[in-house]
Structure 1
């Protein structure tokens, strides 16, 4: 994955509280919800860059598949 930019965002506490509730309903972190909303706004305005990467899926990351066990030598 490419490096991600970090920003400081100051929000009104009431806005933050509602954002937390909304993110929980959508099974996203607050950070992912903010990114989702920014991307949605950029897309609607026709300003989303064509080379932007895809967002991660909602919810918990899936577990990696277990590695197959090697056959143990008999005897």
Structure 2
């Protein structure tokens, strides 16, 4: 598992309420929901290396 780093996030109150509701609907914590959302967006934008890419780089 990757090491996690904490940081402060400023977010609009209405947006936070929406994220909290979505997280509750999916049985996730708010933090877990934000991580999931960021991961999904990064993957869709092809900004996140796949695990296969990381393994290939590390094994060379």
- TM superposition score normalised by structure 2: 0.75
- TM superposition score normalised by structure 1: 0.62
Q: Which residue of 1 aligns with 2:47?
A: 47
How many residues align structurally?
51
Q: Which residue of 1 aligns with 2:38?
A: 38
Gaps of 5+ in 2: 52-60
Gaps of 5+ in 1: 52-75
RMSD, aligned α-carbons? 1.2
Q: String of CA shifts for 1:5-36, please: whole Å, max 9, x gaps.
A: 11110011111111110000011000010000
Deviating 4+ runs (over 3 angstroms): none
